[in-house]
Amino acid sequence: LCLNRFWFDYNGINMSVKLSIYPFFLSGFPCSYRCSYCNSRGSSGVKDEVHAATITTELKNWISKSSDKRDRQVAFYGIEPTILEQCILEALFEAVTPFVSTGQIQGIRLSVRPDRIRLLDRFFNSGIRVIELGIPSMNDHVLSKIQRGHNSISVYDAVRYLRKRRVEIGFQTMIGLPGSDKTEAMETAHRLAALKPDFVRIHPTLVLSDTFLAQEMDKGTYKPITLDHAIDVCADVAGLYGSLGIPVARIGFHIPEDLRDNCLVGGPYHPAFGALVRSEMRYRFMVKAIQKNPGIRSFTVPADQLSDFIGYQRENISKLKKQFNREFRISAIQ
Residue 132 or 280 with smaller CB distance to ligand SF4: 132
Residue 174 or 290 with smaller CB distance to ligand SF4: 174
Min. distance of Cβ 201 from ligand SF4 in angstroms?
Answer: 14
Interface contacts to ligand SF4, rule CB under 6 A: 1-2, 31, 33, 35, 38, 40-41, 79-80, 113
Min. distance of Cβ 148 from ligand SF4 in angstroms?
Answer: 7
Min. distance of Cβ 121 from ligand SF4 in angstroms?
Answer: 19
CA distance 32 to 80: 9
Pair 333, 303: CB distance under 8 Å: yes
Helix axes 182-193, 227-243, angle to 10 degrees: 20
Pair 280, 231: CB distance under 8 Å: yes
SS3 37: coil
Min. distance of Cβ 40 from ligand SF4 in angstroms?
Answer: 4
Residue 2 or 310 with smaller CB distance to ligand SF4: 2
Residue 224, classified by CB atoms within 10 Å of its CB into exposed (0-12), middle (13-18) or buried (19+), is buried
Min. distance of Cβ 29 from ligand SF4 in angstroms?
Answer: 9
CA distance 274 to 317: 18
Question: What residue ranges in the chain does DSSP mark as E strands?
Answer: 19-25, 71-77, 107-112, 128-134, 168-175, 199-204, 207-208, 248-251, 264-266, 298-301, 329-332
Min. distance of Cβ 258 from ligand SF4 in angstroms?
Answer: 21
Residue 37 or 273 with smaller CB distance to ligand SF4: 37
Residue 4 or 307 with smaller CB distance to ligand SF4: 4
Residue 40 or 316 with smaller CB distance to ligand SF4: 40
